[in-house]
Amino acid sequence: MHRTLSRRSLLKNLALATLALPLPLSIQAQPKVTKNPFALGVASGSATHDSLVLWTRLHDEGLFSSNLPNAVIPVIWELAADEGFTQMVQSGAANAVPALAHSVHVELSGLPSNQWFHYRFRINEFTSPTGRTRTFATPGKSSAALRIAFASCQNFELGYFNSYPHLVREKPDLVLFLGDYIYEYPPGQKGVRTHSGSWCLSLEDYRTRYAQYRQDVQLQQLHACCPWLVTWDDHEVQNDYAGLQAGSGGPYSDFAKRRAGAYQAFYEHMPLRASVLVEGLAGLEKGAEMRIYNSFRIGGLLSISLLDTRQYRAPQACTPGNKTGSGVIDPGQCELLSSEGRSLLGTQQEQWLDTQLGNAKEQVWTLLAQSTLFGARLYRTGDGVRVWNDGWDGYPAARRRLTDLLVKHQLPNPVILGGDVHENWVGYVKEDYSSLNSRNIGVEFCGTSVSSYDGRNPDSALRNNSHFVYAEGSRKGYGIMEVSSSELIVHLRAVKDHRTPESVIETLASFKVIAGTQRLERLAAS
């Protein structure tokens, strides 16, 4: 009986959090808050041509628990055409519910297309920082060129997010974050900063970790400068987890419960729509999906399919020692590796992607944004070829099904983005990676980490995998794409030293793809 009531309560709290309130009533209902509750900043995301999500989370950390009242707190929000908030577009109030860590997700619709806005939140005498966000061109309509950033793997302990101030100055229209927003590890010995708490195992552990990351000023500024689209990789839960199978590292825990807590914390701290919780918060406890994969179409310029490569995948094949998690394996000694039934995206997401790609022909560019390196990366040793079984190399049948979809729909300009491996990679998407003479059907850009561990030495892998044209594995930063109807230009930016609070930045390499050519052209350094 108690469990049933608990699930009903969770559903009620989610409904309460998404309820719009009339402003006069909400102002009267605001309880007394004695300290600025907007310490985690603001964010926006999930933007379309006429809708978006505004986010904040009220936070006042006490010695043993939150100093915020254990009550529903109405929060006023405002969206304006100008920074002075004299040209109001929409305003209202939303509930910050204790069961959702007093997070606020304002889902706006009916907005004018292709416009920039400013937004903020207010409670009593306290006002949040001002954020800047936008809608995009209506699908099928003309769109001006866009600047789209991509980043991944920001480890708080191992470095500062000192590339982000440079990215803010580039004035991106959109940030694609491709996984490992937090790391679940306990405090280490070699970092420049320290993780709070120990291993992330419970909902409260993950909330504390997100709150620590969200208080980073450089990260807050990037969230506030434009809308984000976010997907996850493994460290939002546990290193190398696969679906409902635990990964590696840390003490034993009830993994289903751990994953449910991690997923809820992810929702609480990201500008996501409530619809991603397909069975509500209670569903997470039962192992129900949290559907973060989605599609976005920007004018006639760009189709974005944002993919989830963690939640639905089959367990990694042939990891040494019969352990969970990943390993470098000999593909010739692992029959399971090439099984047709193994998937990285899951059957339902694969079918959904088939539909999305079939509808993407109105846009010039088709972008697949996902969390890891897509192209084959073979390691040649004295004993033969080895592959890492946690990425697409560990799921070759699933990768072939995806490339088959690109061929099937005859998309003129497919581009795949990835992260995870802490290395920059640039190369061609092949129709068949098992054949050296297979034709090119698209291009790939995989970004380095923001501040996490160095990648493996990519030099030998670059020599052994001719479909790649560039690789680098020690520098930290982000990628920025300039997308127009005629060309795509990608700059790989890296800071000099990610272990200092501030650092200069440089461009490691730049590449251009002219629409319709699927050919990478390296640009001279400017």
Residue 443 and residue 421 share a domain: yes
pLDDT at 457: 72
Average pLDDT score, the chain: 93
Tens of pLDDT, residues 423-435? 999 999 999 998 8
With bands split at pLDDT 50, 70 and 90, how would you rate the model's confidence at 11? low
What is the mean predicted confidence (pLDDT) over 494-522?
Answer: 97
pLDDT for 213 beyond 50:
yes
d(CA 139, CA 125): 41
At which residue do the structure tokens 């006639």 appear? Answer: 300
d(CA 401, CA 408): 10
What is the mean predicted confidence (pLDDT) over 454-466?
Answer: 81
pLDDT for 4 beyond 70:
no
Residue 55 and residue 14 share a domain: yes
- 8 A C-beta contact, residue 419 and residue 446: yes
Of 70, 101, 135, the last residue of a domain is: 135
pLDDT at 460: 75
Q: Please count the CA atoms within 13 angstroms of the CA of 170 that sit on its side-chain side.
A: 26
The candidate with the shortest Cα–Cα distance to 326, out of 263, 372, 272, 269, is 372
At which residue do the structure tokens 């073979």 appear? Answer: 378
The candidate with the shortest Cα–Cα distance to 269, out of 108, 44, 56, 93, is 56
Residue 375 and residue 288 share a domain: yes
Three-class SS state of 1: coil
pLDDT for 80 beyond 70:
yes
Residue 164 and residue 126 share a domain: no
- 8 A C-beta contact, residue 394 and residue 317: yes
With bands split at pLDDT 50, 70 and 90, how would you rate the model's confidence at 412? confident
Q: Which residue has the higher pLDDT, 454 or 205?
A: 205
pLDDT at 285: 87
Residue 420 and residue 272 share a domain: yes
Whole-number percent of the chain with pLDDT over 70: 94
pLDDT at 400: 97
The candidate with the shortest Cα–Cα distance to 478, out of 176, 187, 214, 249, is 176
What is the mean predicted confidence (pLDDT) over 96-120?
Answer: 97
Tens of pLDDT, residues 232-282? 999 999 999 999 999 999 999 999 999 999 999 999 999 999 999 999 998
Entry pTM? 0.95
What is the mean predicted confidence (pLDDT) over 475-503?
Answer: 98
- Write the DSSP symbol of residue 465: -
pLDDT at 8: 57
Residue 61 and residue 209 share a domain: no
Can you give the C-alpha Rg of the chain in angstroms? 22
pLDDT at 5: 40
Of 86, 117, 135, the last residue of a domain is: 135
Tens of pLDDT, residues 483-495? 999 999 999 999 9
DSSP string, 367-421: EEE-SS--S--PEEETTEEEEETTSGGG-HHHHHHHHHHHHHTT-SSEEEEE-SS
pLDDT at 454: 85
The candidate with the shortest Cα–Cα distance to 402, out of 440, 425, 429, is 429
Edge-first strand listing for the sheet containing 294-298: 294-298, 302-306, 365-369, 414-418, 440-446, 424-430, 468-472
Residue 234 and residue 336 share a domain: yes
d(CA 319, CA 334): 9
Three-class SS state of 357: helix
- 8 A C-beta contact, residue 417 and residue 425: no
pLDDT for 6 beyond 60:
no
Name the residue range of residue 475's domain: 136-523
At which residue do the structure tokens 């929060």 appear? Answer: 75
Number of structural domains (the chain) is 2
What is the mean predicted confidence (pLDDT) over 473-502?
Answer: 97
What CATH number should be reported for the domain holding residue 81?
Answer: 2.60.40.380
Q: Write phi, then psi, for 459 (nearest 5 degrees).
A: -60, -50
What CATH number should be reported for the domain holding residue 458?
Answer: 3.60.21.70
d(CA 152, CA 149): 10
Residue 146 and residue 130 share a domain: no
pLDDT at 239: 98
Residue 153 and residue 59 share a domain: no
- CB neighbourhood size of 209 (10 A): 25
With bands split at pLDDT 50, 70 and 90, how would you rate the model's confidence at 3? very low
With bands split at pLDDT 50, 70 and 90, how would you rate the model's confidence at 1? very low
pLDDT at 384: 87
- 8 A C-beta contact, residue 234 and residue 240: yes
- 8 A C-beta contact, residue 80 and residue 118: yes
Of 79, 100, 135, the last residue of a domain is: 135
Residue 144 and residue 131 share a domain: no
Tens of pLDDT, residues 129-169? 999 999 999 999 999 999 999 999 999 999 999 999 999 99
At which residue do the structure tokens 């890296």 appear? Answer: 494
With bands split at pLDDT 50, 70 and 90, how would you rate the model's confidence at 215? very high
Residue 508 and residue 432 share a domain: yes
Q: Which residue has the higher pLDDT, 43 or 69?
A: 43
Three-class SS state of 60: coil
Instruction: Tell me which long-range contacts 330-339 makes (C-beta under 8 A, separation of at least 24).
Output: 330/383, 330/384, 330/385, 330/386, 331/385, 331/386, 331/387, 332/384, 332/385, 334/389, 337/387, 337/389, 337/394, 337/396, 338/396, 338/397, 339/397
d(CA 37, CA 442): 46
Residue 517 and residue 413 share a domain: yes
